[in-house]
Amino acid sequence: MALELRHLRYLLAVAEHANFTRAAEALHISQPTLSQQVKQLERALKVQLLDRSGRSVRLTDAGEAYAAYARRALQDLAAGERAVLDVGDLSRGTLRVAMTPTFTTYLAGPLVADFCARHPGISLDVREMTQARIEAELLDDRLDLGIGFEGEHTAGVAATALFEEALGLVVGVDHPCAELDVVPLKSLAAHRLALLSGDFATRRHVDAYFEGQGVRPGIAVEANSLSVLVEVVGRGGLATVLPAPIAADDDRLRRVPVEPALPVRTAALLRRESAYRSAAARAFEERLVEWVRESGYAATGVRDGGAAAPGVRAGA
């Protein structure tokens, strides 16, 4: 029997759902048909790929080994299809981009609008997700590019440093700290704070800073939405800690320097090391670097072992 792509997709679907019925529903085929196709694959390979003896179906050791190659093969074929459809003059194409939540507040809007205006033939799929998920989606070939932060990255994910993002104390215009030139960190204990919840990397970054300085601020509000946090701080007497550009773009907010200064972190462009780079992806990367320079952010160089990105001086 000649193996076909559907056999690989069917095997991986069963492995993902750990159940023939759920996998068949996801594939929009009947359960008997799915079972028959997987058995055909096992007969062709002369090995058992699935353990059906338990309450859930799982890959055997041989199945795990084969599934790794099957996933890679499907990813490479999908990349090949995109390469064939890729048009160098950018008259058409698609691009899948994701970024962590803080960037969607001040980067996604102007950057995406600018790119779409320059390249109206490119269809952009822009998503917001955690950095861990961005890296997983890159490796699974569900994303072309991601925007997150430098640090420890999943094997196979390359990071290109973009700019230094400064965090700052952000208050409403009527807050007692709004007109101060600087706020001593110790004095924050007297002010109520509204902070992002613990599932945000920004919150963990802020907590580590407070802990390192021996300060325990009073936290009045925790929110898992940046828009909610901005509304609360803009309307009331609470303070927060957010990336500086967020305050710059909202007339209701003021950024006040803190002493000692809040830490900075390096924003990074993320991609899969072995991924095919389409014309659309290359154009987006180039425009992103230009946008960083034009916006006046503190640019950095590449940190993944490559040369500096276009328009960015390494070590700057």
Q: What is the pLDDT of residue 309?
A: 35
What pTM value is reported for the model? 0.66
Q: Report the C-alpha gap between 177 and 209 in whole angstroms.
A: 20
Contact 124, 116 (CB under 8 A): yes
Mean pLDDT score across all residues of the chain: 86
Q: What is the dihedral of CA 233, 234, 239, 240, to 10 degrees?
A: 70
pLDDT at 104 exceeding the cut of 90: no
pLDDT category at 1 given cuts 50, 70, 90 is: low
Q: Which domains does the chain have, with CATH numbers?
A: 5-85 (1.10.10.10), 93-161+266-299 (3.40.190.10), 164-264 (3.40.190.290)
pLDDT at 314 exceeding the cut of 70: no
pLDDT, one tens digit per residue, over 6-23 is 999 999 999 999 999 999
Q: Is the peptide bond before 245 cis (omega within 30 degrees of 0)?
A: no
Tell me whether strands 183-184 and 192-196 are parallel, antiparallel or unpaired. Answer: unpaired
- The torsion region of residue 236 among left (phi > 0), alpha (psi -120 to 50) and beta comes to beta
Tell me whether strands 258-259 and 122-128 are parallel, antiparallel or unpaired. Answer: unpaired
pLDDT, average across residues 47-62 = 92
pLDDT at 316 exceeding the cut of 60: no
pLDDT, average across residues 233-247 = 86
pLDDT, average across residues 60-78 = 90
